[in-house]
């Protein structure tokens, strides 16, 4: 057959994942000549071959590409004939408009794990063993293209042996940018909490210190963890006291699936997630009897994850006990990524296990759960981010989306793709706002991205809105309503075109009328929305304070029901206030003083938790909902009454019935059913796809019940239902 020259361009996550050596090996298999190189858009191949072999070659690419790669598009064209003597990997071409994806950090691969524990291997016990198919990526990258000089590995000069592996296209470590070994790579250092080095065998020492009940700050991939023995109740209590975290559940790292099963009831899909290359924290049902109540007090769910770095593996392999592993950060601040940040936690940890490879981009652990066999991402970070999301249409502009204020993420959008940052956190402190800005700069720099449109939330007090207004310059600002963005995020992820019926059950989000929405039913598409129905407004006594104190929301609803007579009632809510307080709040309620109006289902959850005596003041966000999940009983049937007229849902009839219920479990179970019933009633006349989003759908029981009633309902699987998904929704809001 006649030989021709072809150019093949491949886009997607194709750099830093062993793509060029994979192509090199294919070229050897099919005996073709030519070149392969990276460019700013992905990988480019030139080859001399006939059409038949070309097709086989392209099929092989599609079916056999390396484990960390993902392909968005393969394009080929014929060029004027050129002569090649052999097949070569050639150097990265010019930088320009960057569209290739930044590879995320993934966990250690099987081959590296085998070598780690093989005493005859030269990397035996090396805590930073890695290859082209595994290890750190995003967290060490300063810039694209992904070459060693653009990462924090540039400070380590490869030894001769590593250099040889790095330069051999047939080696598993060919162009593995973080390559290193005992001789030339990063090293561990164990220090006490004032920075004095502790000598002798590091891993053994760490394991002994953990066994003795110490709390150790361990530098990982995207930040530090605070780690301690999960079987030692005294130590966990010490960590709770020092971190001022009385009840919020801790995640637990386990050696392997066997140890995971000792703590959790794990189904097949949960096991797949636990052992996936992303290795997220997976929230599963706890095994009974519970080994300890200290890890997640009063909650029968536990967040488990497997060791994802060689360092974690070495520690757990020697320790043979589960480890509490929680992100090291000061409350409301981002995860600590260097010793200087970590010093603020000096009073919390006893020792630090440090290493000398810089963390360039901070990245928390990801958190997922499985509901009705669907993956629900609660926090999208390490392993998943920053990966691009393909849109069902081309964007007219380059859009920067600034997200919301809680569980913040940002995104950039161009052509038909969106790059969503990892979870940044709540923008409640100067430190977190700085970290937020750094994340924006990082994405803009790496993708050589310049926005023409800046999309942001409508809430005037959000830090993200303030930032939008400050940084706008000559760019166009685009306000996107919070709950519209929630639904749009799901539509974008699922590539839905056309109108949908969106249900956004949420904490709070700023509405068009300046009120705090969060119980919203809307028909929408990318161009706009129509608010079909919402919960009747109720007042949040004390404004922001009401978000932490369910009793304030409940009291406000009691005032709606009984007015001034509330002080004659005797229930858990009224008992949570003094008579003076009841009188003061009544005046505030009546006059609307510091009492913004809200239609939020999240706050309704809080109110119910207070009225039933489950929770009056929360020590962490979402506590009331978690406690209500615990009390739900699937054998209870029926729901309460509620009013629905002119697009307004009246929950007061439900509350009256609930207050006369003697059994808390029945009341809570019926409350869940009532919410499902509300969706049913409002959605019934509409023949449109049903889309669910908003932070309230992180509630496992509610989401499970809604998906049972509406198996066709669409939820997001790749972005969180909470405000972490807002940025994606903001990007795709078209028209200004
Ligand atoms: Zn590996
Ligand atoms: Zn080396």
| 129 CA from centroid of ligand 1 (Å) | 7
- pLDDT at 593 exceeding the cut of 60: yes
> Residue 238 in 3-state DSSP?
helix
Smallest Cα–Cα separation from 403: which of 454, 452, 364?
454
Any idea which ligand is nearest the CA of 313?
A: 1
Q: Is 497 exposed, middle or buried (0-12, 13-18, 19+ CB in 10 A)?
A: exposed
- Total Cβ atoms within 10 A of residue 298: 11
76 within 8 A of 7, measured Cβ to Cβ: yes
Beta strands, E only, 16-136: 33-39, 42-49, 70-79, 87-89
| 317 CA from centroid of ligand 2 (Å) | 24
Any idea which ligand is nearest the CA of 184?
A: 2
| 110 CA from centroid of ligand 1 (Å) | 7
- Token pair for 571: 């229930």
Distance between CA atoms of 311 and 332, rounded to whole angstroms?
Answer: 28
- pLDDT at 472 exceeding the cut of 90: no
| 272 CA from centroid of ligand 1 (Å) | 19
Any idea which ligand is nearest the CA of 129?
A: 1
| 357 CA from centroid of ligand 2 (Å) | 15
Task: For residue 588, give Cα distances in angstroms to 200, 318, 320, 555.
Answer: 64, 60, 57, 11
| 607 CA from centroid of ligand 2 (Å) | 60
572 within 8 A of 619, measured Cβ to Cβ: no
At 666-714, the pLDDT tens digits run 999 999 999 999 999 999 999 999 999 999 999 999 999 999 999 999 9
Any idea which ligand is nearest the CA of 185?
A: 2
- 413 HSE (CA, 13 A, CB side): 31
| 117 CA from centroid of ligand 1 (Å) | 13
Q: What share of the chain is helix, strand, coil (3-state, %, to 5)?
A: 35, 20, 45
- Token pair for 271: 């096991």
Any idea which ligand is nearest the CA of 171?
A: 1
At 19-53, the pLDDT tens digits run 998 999 999 999 999 999 888 788 999 999 999 99
Task: Give the CA angle between residues 139, 145, 150 to the nearest 5°.
Answer: 55
Cα end-to-end span (Å), the chain: 56
For 251, residues 6+ apart whose C-beta sits below 8 A from its C-beta are: 281, 303, 304, 305, 324, 325, 326, 365, 367
pLDDT at 1: 63
Distance between CA atoms of 160 and 422, rounded to whole angstroms?
Answer: 36
pLDDT at 736: 45
| 61 CA from centroid of ligand 1 (Å) | 21
Distance between CA atoms of 696 and 679, rounded to whole angstroms?
Answer: 14
Stretch 249-268: mean pLDDT: 96
| 122 CA from centroid of ligand 2 (Å) | 9
Average pLDDT, the chain: 94
| 167 CA from centroid of ligand 2 (Å) | 13
247 within 8 A of 297, measured Cβ to Cβ: yes
- Token pair for 428: 């409640």
pLDDT at 721: 97
| 132 CA from centroid of ligand 1 (Å) | 6
| 90 CA from centroid of ligand 2 (Å) | 24
328 within 8 A of 217, measured Cβ to Cβ: yes
Stretch 620-631: mean pLDDT: 93
- pLDDT at 361 exceeding the cut of 70: yes
- Give the dihedral sign, CA 364/365/366/367: negative
Any idea which ligand is nearest the CA of 173?
A: 1
Stretch 643-649: mean pLDDT: 97
| 277 CA from centroid of ligand 1 (Å) | 11
For 366, residues 6+ apart whose C-beta sits below 8 A from its C-beta are: 278, 280, 281, 377, 379, 380, 381, 382, 383, 384, 385, 423
| 124 CA from centroid of ligand 1 (Å) | 13
Q: What percent of the chain has pLDDT over 70?
A: 98
Q: What is the CA radius of gyration of the chain?
A: 27
| 670 CA from centroid of ligand 1 (Å) | 51
Any idea which ligand is nearest the CA of 130?
A: 1
| 267 CA from centroid of ligand 1 (Å) | 27
| 46 CA from centroid of ligand 1 (Å) | 29
Any idea which ligand is nearest the CA of 180?
A: 2
| 209 CA from centroid of ligand 2 (Å) | 30
pLDDT at 734: 77
> Residue 526 in 3-state DSSP?
coil
pLDDT band for 166, please (50, 70, 90 cuts). Answer: very high
What DSSP state is assigned to residue 5? Answer: E
Distance between CA atoms of 242 and 55, rounded to whole angstroms?
Answer: 62
Q: Does the pTM exceed 0.85?
A: yes
At 285-302, the pLDDT tens digits run 999 887 788 999 989 999
Q: Tokens 């524990």 identify what position?
A: 117
Any idea which ligand is nearest the CA of 163?
A: 2
Any idea which ligand is nearest the CA of 113?
A: 1
| 635 CA from centroid of ligand 2 (Å) | 61
| 27 CA from centroid of ligand 1 (Å) | 23
| 331 CA from centroid of ligand 1 (Å) | 35
| 113 CA from centroid of ligand 1 (Å) | 7
- pLDDT at 146 exceeding the cut of 90: no
> Residue 401 in 3-state DSSP?
strand
99-103, 218-222, 448-452, 474-478 — which is least confidently predicted?
A: 99-103
φ, ψ for residue 425, nearest 5 deg? 120, -175
| 177 CA from centroid of ligand 2 (Å) | 12
- Total Cβ atoms within 10 A of residue 396: 11
| 165 CA from centroid of ligand 2 (Å) | 9
Q: 578 forms bridges with which residues in the sheet? A: none
Kind plus residue range of the DSSP H or E element containing 434: helix 430-446
| 38 CA from centroid of ligand 1 (Å) | 22
| 157 CA from centroid of ligand 2 (Å) | 8
- Token pair for 186: 């990063």
For 395, residues 6+ apart whose C-beta sits below 8 A from its C-beta are: 413, 414, 415, 416, 731, 732
| 133 CA from centroid of ligand 1 (Å) | 5
| 160 CA from centroid of ligand 2 (Å) | 7
> Residue 326 in 3-state DSSP?
strand
pLDDT at 97: 59
| 131 CA from centroid of ligand 1 (Å) | 4
| 342 CA from centroid of ligand 2 (Å) | 29
Q: Is the preceding peptide bond at 145 cis, omega within 30 degrees of 0?
A: yes
| 276 CA from centroid of ligand 2 (Å) | 28
| 164 CA from centroid of ligand 2 (Å) | 9
In order, the DSSP letters of 693-731 are ESGGGG-HHHHHHHHHH-TT-B--SSS-SSGGGHHHHHH
Any idea which ligand is nearest the CA of 186?
A: 2
> Residue 502 in 3-state DSSP?
strand
Distance between CA atoms of 146 and 102, rounded to whole angstroms?
Answer: 8
At 562-572, the pLDDT tens digits run 999 998 999 99
pLDDT at 94: 59
| 146 CA from centroid of ligand 2 (Å) | 20
Task: Give the CA angle between residues 117, 121, 122 to the nearest 5°.
Answer: 120
Distance between CA atoms of 498 and 393, rounded to whole angstroms?
Answer: 12
Distance between CA atoms of 37 and 147, rounded to whole angstroms?
Answer: 13
Stretch 517-534: mean pLDDT: 97
- pLDDT at 241 exceeding the cut of 70: yes
pLDDT at 503: 98
């Amino acid at each position: 057959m006649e030989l021709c020259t072809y150019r093949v361009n491949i886009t997607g996550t194709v750099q830093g994942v062993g793509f060029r050596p994979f192509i090199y090996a294919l070229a050897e298999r099919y005996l073709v000549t030519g070149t392969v190189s990276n460019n700013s858009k992905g990988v480019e191949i030139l080859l001399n071959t006939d059409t038949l072999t070309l097709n086989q070659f392209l099929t092989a690419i599609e079916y056999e590409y390396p484990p960390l790669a993902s392909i968005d598009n393969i394009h080929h064209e014929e060029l004027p004939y050129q002569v090649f003597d052999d097949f070569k990997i050639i150097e990265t071409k010019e930088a320009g408009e960057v569209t290739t994806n930044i590879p995320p950090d993934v966990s250690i691969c099987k081959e590296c794990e085998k070598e780690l524990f093989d005493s005859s291997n030269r990397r035996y016990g090396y805590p930073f063993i890695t290859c082209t198919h595994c290890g750190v990526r995003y967290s060490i990258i300063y810039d694209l293209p992904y070459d060693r000089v653009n990462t924090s590995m540039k400070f380590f000069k490869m030894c001769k042996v590593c250099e040889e592996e790095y330069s051999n296209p047939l080696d598993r470590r060919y162009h593995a940018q973080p390559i290193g070994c005992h001789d030339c790579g990063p090293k561990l250092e164990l220090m006490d909490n004032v920075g004095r080095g502790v000598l002798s065998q590091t891993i053994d020492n760490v394991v002994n210190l953990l066994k003795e009940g110490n709390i150790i700050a361990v530098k990982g991939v995207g930040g530090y963890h605070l780690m301690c023995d999960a079987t030692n109740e005294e130590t966990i209590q010490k960590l709770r006291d020092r971190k001022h975290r009385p009840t919020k559940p801790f995640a637990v790292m386990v050696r392997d699936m066997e140890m995971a099963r000792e703590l959790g009831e794990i189904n097949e899909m949960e096991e797949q997630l636990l052992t996936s290359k992303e290795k997220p924290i997976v929230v599963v049902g706890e095994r009974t009897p519970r080994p300890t109540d200290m890890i997640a007090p009063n909650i029968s769910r536990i967040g488990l994850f497997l060791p994802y770095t060689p360092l974690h593996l070495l520690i757990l392999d020697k320790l043979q006990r589960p480890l509490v592993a929680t992100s090291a950060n000061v409350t409301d601040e981002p995860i600590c990524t260097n010793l200087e940040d970590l010093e603020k936690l000096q009073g919390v940890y006893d020792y630090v296990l440090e290493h000398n490879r810089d963390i360039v981009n901070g990245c928390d652990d990801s958190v997922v759960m499985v509901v009705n066999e669907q993956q629900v991402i609660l926090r999208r970070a390490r392993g998943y981010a920053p990966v691009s999301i393909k849109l069902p249409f081309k964007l007219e502009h380059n859009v920067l989306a600034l997200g919301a204020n809680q569980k913040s993420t940002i995104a950039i959008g161009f052509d038909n793709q969106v790059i969503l940052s990892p979870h940044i956190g709540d923008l409640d402190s100067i430190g977190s706002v700085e970290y937020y800005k750094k994340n924006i700069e990082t994405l803009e720099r790496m993708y050589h991205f310049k926005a023409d449109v800046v999309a942001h939330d409508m809430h005037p007090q959000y830090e993200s809105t303030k930032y939008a207004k400050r940084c706008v310059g000559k760019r166009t600002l685009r306000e996107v309503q919070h709950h519209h963005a929630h639904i749009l995020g799901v539509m974008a992820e699922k590539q839905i075109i056309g109108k949908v019926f969106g249900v956004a059950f949420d904490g709070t989000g700023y509405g068009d009328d300046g009120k705090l929405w969060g119980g919203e039913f809307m028909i929408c598409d990318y161009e706009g929305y129509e608010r079909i129905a919402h919960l009747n407004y109720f007042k949040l006594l004390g404004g922001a304070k009401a978000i932490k104190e369910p009793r304030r929301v409940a009291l406000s609803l009691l005032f709606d029901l009984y007015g001034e007579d509330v002080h004659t009632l005797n229930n858990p809510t009224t008992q949570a206030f003094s008579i003076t307080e009841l009188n003061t709040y009544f005046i505030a309620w009546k006059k609307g003083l510091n009492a913004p109006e809200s239609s939020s289902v999240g706050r309704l959850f809080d109110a119910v938790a207070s009225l039933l005596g489950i929770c009056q003041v929360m020590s962490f966000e979402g506590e009331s909902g978690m406690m209500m999940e615990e009390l739900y009983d699937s054998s209870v049937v029926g729901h309460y009454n509620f009013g629905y007229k002119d697009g307004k849902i009246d929950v007061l009839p439900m509350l009256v019935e609930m207050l006369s219920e003697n059994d808390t479990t029945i009341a809570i179970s019926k409350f869940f059913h009532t919410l499902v019933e509300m969706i049913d009633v409002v959605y019934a006349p509409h023949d449109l796809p049903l889309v669910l989003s908003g932070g309230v759908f992180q509630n496992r029981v509610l989401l499970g019940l809604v998906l049972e009633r509406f198996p066709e309902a669409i939820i997001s699987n790749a972005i969180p239902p909470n405000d972490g998904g807002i940025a994606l929704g903001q990007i795709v809001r078209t028209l200004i």
